[in-house]
Structure formats: C-alpha cells, structure tokens
Structure 1
Amino acid sequence: MISLRDAYRILRAAYVRFAKDDGVAMAGYIAFSSLLAIFPFLIFSAALVGLLVGPEQNEQAVNTLFRVAPEHIARTLEPVLHEVLVDRGQGVLTLSILVAIFLASNAVDAFRVAFDRAYDVAKPRGFLLRRLISLAFVFLGAAVAAIMAVSVVFTPLLFQLAERWLDIALPASMGALVFILGVTVFVLFLIALHRILPSHATKGRRIWPGIMVSLILWLFGAVAFSIYLSLVPTYAVTYGTLTGVMVLAMFFYLTGVAIIFGAEVNAVLKLTNATEQPT
C-alpha cells in the first residue's frame, strides 16, 4: 500500500516531468489535431453505424452516441453531424470519410508524440509503421463508437425482453448505463494508448497507475468545466458564436492534459522501480 507521502512524491515528480516535456504545449497540439479531426471522424463513425443498423435507425443511433458526451460538447457536434448525414449528398459523405482517415490519424500521432516524450523514447518507430498504427486506431475508434451507439439503441429492447422473461421491473432511466459505458470505453482507450501507441510501451500492470490518474483527472476536469460553464454566463458572451468550438477545444485540451500526466506518472514509477532494483 502506497503512503500519502510517496503518492505526493510521485505526483510531484510527474508534474516536473510534465513541465519539462512541454506537456501543456503537447496537450494544445492534441486539442488542435482532435478539433480538426472530430467532425469528419464522427461522420465516418455515423456511416459505419448506418451499415450496421440500416438507414432507418441510423439517426436514432447517432443521437444515442451523443448521450455519452458531455452536454455542451453534444450541443456543438450534433447539429453539424445531422446536417451532413441528412441534408447532404453521398459525395460529401465519401469525402468526409477520406478526410476523417487522414485527420484522425494525425490526432492519434499527436498522442504518440506525447507518449514518446513521456517515456523518454530516443528512437521512435519508422514513419510507415507509425502511420499504420494510427490508421488502425482510427478504424478501431470508429468501430467502438458505432458499437456504443448500436448498443444504446438496442438496450431498451433487451430490457423489455428481460422484464418479460424474468418478470421483474428494471429501472427506466439509462443515464447510469450510459455513464458506465462511456467510462469503460475511455478506460479501454487509455489501455490501448499505453500498450500500443508508444514506440517502447510499458506493459502489464505497470500501466494501471497512470490510467487511474488520467481517469480521475478527466472526470474531475469534465465535471469542473461543466460547472464552470453553467455558473459563468460571460463565457458565451466572450466567444459569441465560437462558444461551441471553444468548449470543444477546451474539452480536448483537458483530456490531453489528463492522458499525458498519467503517462508521466507511469514514467516516474518506471524510473523509481529501476533505481530500487539491486545491481
């Protein structure tokens, strides 16, 4: 069991490394890359949902996908995605998918750069291999987003069948289920980042301290930012019509900070274990 003093020492060392590795700048790079990629990526994911459930339930599945996102984020993304899917032609959709693959792979590579810095990687993978891994993450992310949407669409039907066969009353609200689903997907995303993305990844149970730190920071940051937006009305006045974009960029920035700091925690623990091993 780690003591509070040791925990403070580890977090302080992680913060020092975070500052030394330009964690703030890297989080900004991740936020910018993610902001460029998010709209075409969601269009790509929505098209994949359409292949799984058909055009009739595509819009419903896309709407459920936004239940996982924070309210302010969903209000920014949903109208744009709905306009492209419903009001535009197939040519726009095809172009968006191609743009999504390129931009989203750049966003994934931004995480790779941050992780390589955190883990002190001197020689990264070759360019072609890095691109292939980034593309694999893009397709994996689109598949996960589609599965999440389809799962939420068909969950009420499964609840009804369970009530009929088991003769029990299940809670009507799905808020807790959606929250658990979102957190689970984020944790799986963090595991994939730590295990696959860095050129020299930390394996096994050693990745879990950083993952838990990132998860706590992410949840705390999302809740605190939502409270701030609800209590400070001048935010909308300051940015005007760009409020939605700024909220989205800030959310990506906070996510980047949380993920990079978690990687720095793992790096500190790795160095600590290395120095404590007998020679």
Structure 2
Amino acid sequence: MVNKKLLSSVRFPFGEIARDTAKSAYRHECTDAAGAMAFEMVFAIFPCLLVLTALMVITGTPPEAFNQLIVELGIIIPPPLLAIVEENIEHLWRSYQSLFFFGILGVLGPASASMSTTMSALNRAYNVMEKRSFLKRRSLSLILVISMGLSLVALFNLFIFGEQVVVWMDANWAFLDIVPSLGNILHSLAGFGGTLFVVASIYRLAPNIRQRWRDVLPGSFLFLLLWSFIAGGFRYFIQSFSYYNVIYGVLGGVIILLLCAYLLALILLLGGELNGVILQHRQRENNAGAGAD
C-alpha cells in the first residue's frame, strides 16, 4: 500500500496542474505583486553592482568575469546602462572600500523589501499565514539577499577556475579538438546550476512552510525555462532592433530594465504558484489514499 501511495503522489495530470497554476496566479494577483517586486528590485540594482564590485576586489576576481557571468546567466542589462557600468567599473575598482559600505546600505533596504514582498506572495501561493515575527522575517530577507550576492561572487570565481581547467585540458587532452565548445558547455552548466540553487533556496526558505529540496524543483525548473525564453527574446530584440537606442536613448534602456525586472519577478512567482499547486495535489492524493484505507 505504501508503494501505491508513493506512485499516486507523483501521478499528476499536467493539464490540470497548468490550469490550476494559472488560476492560482490570477487569484493571488501575482501581476500586482510582481510590479511591486520589480519596483524595489530596480532601486537595488546599482547599489548591488557596487557591492559585487567590492566583493570581486576582496576575493581577487578580475572585472572581466562580471560581463561573462551576465552572459552565462542570461541576465539582460540594456546596452545604455551596461555602457554606464563599464565606464565606471575602473573607478569602482579603485575605491571599493568606501563604496562597499555605501553599497551595502543602499542594497539591503530595497532588496530586503523586495524579498519581503516575495515572501508574502509565496505564502499566498501555499495558502499559509505569515506567523513569523517582523524581526525574523526581515532577518531572513537579509540572509537571503546576502546569500544571493555571495553566490554570484562564487560563480565569478567558478568561471575563472573553469577557464583555467579548460586551458589545462586543452593542453593535455587531445579530444578537446573534437569538442571545442567544452568550455562554453562547462560555463553554461555552472550558470544553470548556480541559478537553480539560488531560486530553489528562495522557494524553500521564503514561504512559511517546511519543504524538502525536491518539493521546490518543479517551480525552479519552470523559472529557468521561462527565463531562458525571455532572455533569448530580449537578446534577439536588442540585436535585431537596436535602433530603439537611437530613438529612446537611455530612456529606452530604463524601459527594458523595468520590463526585465517585472518579468523576472512574475516568473519567480509563477514558479512558486506551481510548487504550491503540486503540494495541494499531493495532499489531496494522500488524503484520498488514507480515506481508502
């Protein structure tokens, strides 16, 4: 009987789950919550760049790793804003100590507020009440934000280490001539794994409910799938319709940045809604199995 319960817990009708996820997202007003999250994200972006730059200096990571990580993770920064960042990166590199302090102050407030909004939205996705104290909730938000920053720095160094490994393998192993894109594959896998871990951590720790890591994987993979399509679409748009820079200038870059932040927040919430729906289906299946006994 135990085996039948385990099998029934994973036999979900995918069409019904997709429909319930869409209904749940509409009922919980995910589009409104995503707008609030995106607004707070944008305020945290440039202080976050200051903190990341300072951490890169502290850990000895070269600045070239920043652009490489942006590409590997599929993060779209509009060209006008990216040009501003590149112009000032050398100055940030020289004055990282003072900027680290001010960057920390600038990023923790908006980023933790955005994470707090995410917690509330994910609680609605799981149909649970927020019973944690304000202090515990805010502390968890800060811990998640800091952990995400440290994860990005770890990915910086992983990319650099991966390049050294590929160079060594290229010099010692002849089969790399047959697979010349091995380095790109390794970098993509590192970006995929790092993003999956960060998103799964948010899904597991943010809502006020105990979960296993495997319980949050469906939403995490949905986030990666949707973000890959969105990032690819923005990349194609920027490459094919670059004249928007001529027409809108920096304002066009800000519009793209806001849209990216909104879509990022929305698909993050959709992944949480999917996890919540699957959990509810599993609970109904288990209750039905218990009633049959």
Q: Does 1:255 align with 2:264?
A: yes
Per the normalisation by structure 1, the TM-score is 0.85
| AA aligned opposite 1:192 | S
CA 1:268–1:100 in structure 2 vs 1: closer, same or farther (change >3 Å)?
same
- Matches of 1:158 and 1:32 in 2, distance apart? 40
SS at match of 1:73: coil
SS at match of 1:215: helix
How far has the Cα of 1:241 moved from its partner?
A: 1.9
SS at match of 1:182: helix
Q: Does 1:175 align with 2:179?
A: no
What residue is the counterpart of 2:163 in the other structure?
A: 156
Q: For the Cα contact (< 8 Å) 1:215–1:258, is it kept in 2?
A: no
| AA aligned opposite 1:254 | L
**RMSD of the alignment, in Å?**
2.6
Q: Does 1:75 align with 2:84?
A: no
How far has the Cα of 1:102 moved from its partner?
A: 2.3
* Greater mean alpha carbon deviation, residues 130-139 or residues 211-220: 211-220
What residue is the counterpart of 1:62 in the other structure?
A: 66
Q: Does 1:32 align with 2:36?
A: no
What residue is the counterpart of 2:280 in the other structure?
A: 271
What residue is the counterpart of 2:14 in the other structure?
A: 7
- Matches of 1:202 and 1:237 in 2, distance apart? 49
- Matches of 2:68 and 2:236 in 1, distance apart? 23
Q: For the Cα contact (< 8 Å) 2:73–2:192, is it kept in 1?
A: no
CA 1:156–1:98 in structure 2 vs 1: closer, same or farther (change >3 Å)?
same
Q: For the Cα contact (< 8 Å) 2:20–2:277, is it kept in 1?
A: yes
Q: Residues 163-220 of structure 1, C-alpha deviation per residue, up to 9 Å, x if partnerless? A: 3444553655543333222221121112101111111143342222222222222222
SS at match of 2:15: helix
What residue is the counterpart of 1:86 in the other structure?
A: 90
Q: For the Cα contact (< 8 Å) 1:65–1:148, is it kept in 2?
A: yes
Alignment of 1:67-216 (within 5 A): 67-70=71-74, 72-73=76-77, 75-87=79-91, 89=95, 90-166=97-173, 168-169=175-176, 173=181, 174-216=183-225
CA 1:272–1:165 in structure 2 vs 1: closer, same or farther (change >3 Å)?
same
Q: For the Cα contact (< 8 Å) 1:40–1:96, is it kept in 2?
A: yes
SS at match of 1:66: helix
Q: For the Cα contact (< 8 Å) 1:33–1:110, is it kept in 2?
A: no
How far has the Cα of 1:74 moved from its partner?
A: 6.3
* Greater mean alpha carbon deviation, residues 68-77 or residues 261-270: 68-77
Q: Residues 81-110 of structure 1, C-alpha deviation per residue, up to 9 Å, x if partnerless? A: 444442254534431222122222222222
* Greater mean alpha carbon deviation, residues 39-48 or residues 72-81: 72-81
CA 1:272–1:238 in structure 2 vs 1: closer, same or farther (change >3 Å)?
farther
SS at match of 2:59: helix
Identity of aligned residues (%): 24
User: What residue ranges of structure 1 are gaps of 5+ in the alignment?
Assistant: none
Per the normalisation by structure 2, the TM-score is 0.82
CA 1:200–1:238 in structure 2 vs 1: closer, same or farther (change >3 Å)?
farther
CA 1:179–1:226 in structure 2 vs 1: closer, same or farther (change >3 Å)?
same
CA 1:61–1:105 in structure 2 vs 1: closer, same or farther (change >3 Å)?
same
CA 1:12–1:158 in structure 2 vs 1: closer, same or farther (change >3 Å)?
same
What residue is the counterpart of 1:52 in the other structure?
A: 59
- Matches of 1:221 and 1:123 in 2, distance apart? 32
What residue is the counterpart of 1:19 in the other structure?
A: 26
User: What residue ranges of structure 2 are gaps of 5+ in the alignment?
Assistant: 1-9
* Greater mean alpha carbon deviation, residues 59-68 or residues 162-171: 162-171
What residue is the counterpart of 1:241 in the other structure?
A: 250
